[in-house]
């Protein structure tokens, strides 16, 4: 109950959320002339939320430790709804077909949870290699394809996989080996499960353009895929993985990946608040009451500056509580096992309480609109 109570007294933990930036008060003092710049850099990120009710609406460049409200607002002159773009719809459909086993998410069985986490671990391996080899080095698109395909074909055999001096790649391969060994002991019929997944990955890798086919059956280029990844990888785990890094070391244990999957669902209300901030200019230009910001401006008769202050304040509070709960759950997951699964579920429920508190805010606004 102590953890649950802390949700309601977030001011006590004002410094928990922002591990790499200056205190919020100091930031505000330095930026009095600009009411938009209240936060420094932080390792806690928003995902680009894909729910149709809260579409993201900007082309902003995602940088892992440089996502701030000021950066977001500065990008409002380039508004474009990602959800409505053709490439996003095509990519989303592809990933759902091959990786998002949504039925497994509904299961509470421990082995099923690990199986689901395993599928996403494979996707993260690809994602991490794309990031390391394509975005942070001179390795070209075809070379990264060859690297990943060889890894998949050898099923991670460390003697046969391409040698790489990059410490992050080495850590990824080590992490994969640990996950693979644990899954082999836990997931029923694991060799066949893995074989089916590898088969799907091979089809993906051997396609002309990473298996990302547009509605007219034309492929997207590797460069286009990398551009898309920069915008949308958050909904598949990359940003959530960054949240769980400690001392720069990638995750080692399968339970960490299960926890990442849980955090992904808890991030939904964060995406809603972020979309409110991003939607400010667009909604004002359309002169509609469609979201919280416009309700405050048109119905409560508040100025844009005041409304933005209120939204950012809510954003601040949610971040603090989110990180507090994330740390508690992460500590629990680190030493978890099948016998502790009920305890894990209890902590997931606590995260659900936090989610519900944010939902109450949005529900109240909707109810007032209806009245």
**Residue 49 · residue 22 · CB < 8 Å:** no
Question: According to the model, what pLDDT value does residue 198 have?
Answer: 59
Question: According to the model, what pLDDT value does residue 197 have?
Answer: 57
Point out which residues pair with 246 in neighbouring strands. Answer: 249
| Pair of tokens at residue 273 | 């608040």
Distance CA 319, CA 251 (A): 22
SS3 of the chain: the string is: CHHHHHCCCHHHHCCCCCCCCCCHHHHHHHCCCCCCCCCCCCCCCCCCCCCCCCCCCCCCCCCCCCCCHHHHHHCHHHCCCHHHCHHHHHHHHHHHHHCCCHHHHCCCCHHHHHHHHHHHHHHHHHHHHHHHHHHCCCCCHHHHHHHHHHHHHCCCCCCCCCCCCCHHHHHHHHHHHHHHHHHHHHCCCHHHHHHHHHHHHHHHHHCCCCCCECCCCCECCHHHHHHHHHHHHHHHCHHHHHHCCECCECCCCHHHHHHHHHHHHHCHHHHHHHHHHHCHHHHHHHCCCCCHHHHHHHCCCCCHHHHHHHHHHHHHHHHHHHHHHHHHHHHHHHCCCHHHHHHHHHHHHHHHHHHHHHHHHHHHHHHHHHC
Point out which residues pair with 249 in neighbouring strands. Answer: 246
Question: According to the model, what pLDDT value does residue 191 have?
Answer: 72
| Pair of tokens at residue 317 | 């509070």
Residue 366 phi, psi (nearest 5):
-60, -40
Query: 């500056």: which residue's tokens?
Result: 305
Query: 């894990």: which residue's tokens?
Result: 344
Average pLDDT per block of 10 residues along the chain, 371 residues long: 21 27 36 28 29 32 27 31 37 37 41 44 50 53 58 51 48 56 62 64 49 43 48 37 37 41 42 44 46 63 70 55 50 49 47 45 42 41
Point out which residues pair with 213 in neighbouring strands. Answer: 219
Distance CA 24, CA 13 (A): 12
Distance CA 348, CA 355 (A): 10
Distance CA 110, CA 130 (A): 30
Q: What angle do CA 271, 277, 281 make, to 5 degrees?
A: 135
Distance CA 21, CA 12 (A): 18
What's the pLDDT tens digit per position in 125-139? 555 555 555 555 555
Distance CA 112, CA 9 (A): 36
Point out which residues pair with 219 in neighbouring strands. Answer: 213
Q: What percent of the chain has pLDDT over 90?
A: 0
Distance CA 176, CA 363 (A): 42
**Residue 153 · residue 202 · CB < 8 Å:** yes
What's the pLDDT tens digit per position in 290-342? 455 556 666 777 776 676 666 556 555 555 554 554 454 445 445 545 455 45
């Amino acid at each position: 109950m102590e953890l649950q109570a802390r949700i309601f007294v977030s001011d006590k933990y004002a410094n928990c959320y922002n591990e790499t930036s200056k205190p919020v008060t100091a930031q505000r003092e330095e930026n009095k002339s600009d009411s938009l710049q209240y936060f420094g850099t932080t390792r806690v990120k928003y995902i680009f939320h894909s729910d149709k009710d809260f579409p993201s609406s900007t082309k902003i460049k995602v940088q892992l430790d440089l996502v701030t409200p000021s950066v977001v607002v500065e990008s409002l002159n380039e508004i474009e709804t990602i959800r409505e773009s053709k490439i996003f719809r095509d990519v989303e459909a592809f990933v759902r077909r091959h990786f998002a086993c949504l039925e497994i998410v509904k299961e509470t069985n421990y082995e099923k949870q690990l199986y689901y986490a395993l599928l996403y671990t494979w996707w993260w391996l690809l994602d991490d290699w794309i990031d390391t080899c394509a975005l942070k080095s001179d390795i070209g698109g075809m070379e990264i394809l060859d690297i990943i395909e060889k890894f998949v074909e050898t099923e991670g055999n460390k003697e046969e996989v391409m040698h790489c001096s990059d410490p992050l790649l080495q850590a990824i391969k080590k992490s994969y080996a640990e996950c693979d060994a644990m899954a082999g002991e836990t997931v029923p019929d694991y060799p066949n499960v893995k074989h089916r997944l590898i088969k799907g990955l091979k089809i993906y890798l051997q396609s002309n353009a990473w298996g990302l086919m547009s509605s007219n059956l034309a492929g997207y280029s590797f460069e286009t895929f990398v551009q898309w990844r920069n915008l949308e990888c958050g909904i598949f785990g990359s940003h959530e993985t960054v949240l769980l890094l400690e001392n720069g070391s990638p995750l080692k244990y399968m339970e960490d990946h299960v926890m990442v999957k849980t955090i992904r669902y808890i991030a939904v209300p964060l995406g809603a608040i972020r979309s409110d901030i991003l939607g400010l200019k667009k909604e004002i230009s359309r002169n509609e009451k469609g979201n919280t910001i416009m309700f405050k401006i048109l119905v409560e008769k508040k100025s844009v500056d005041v409304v933005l202050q209120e939204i950012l304040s809510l954003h601040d509070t949610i971040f603090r509580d989110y990180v507090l709960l994330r740390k508690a759950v992460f500590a629990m997951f680190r030493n978890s096992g099948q016998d502790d699964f009920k305890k894990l579920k209890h902590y997931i429920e606590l995260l659900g309480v936090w989610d519900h508190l944010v939902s109450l805010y949005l529900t109240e606004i909707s109810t007032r609109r209806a009245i």
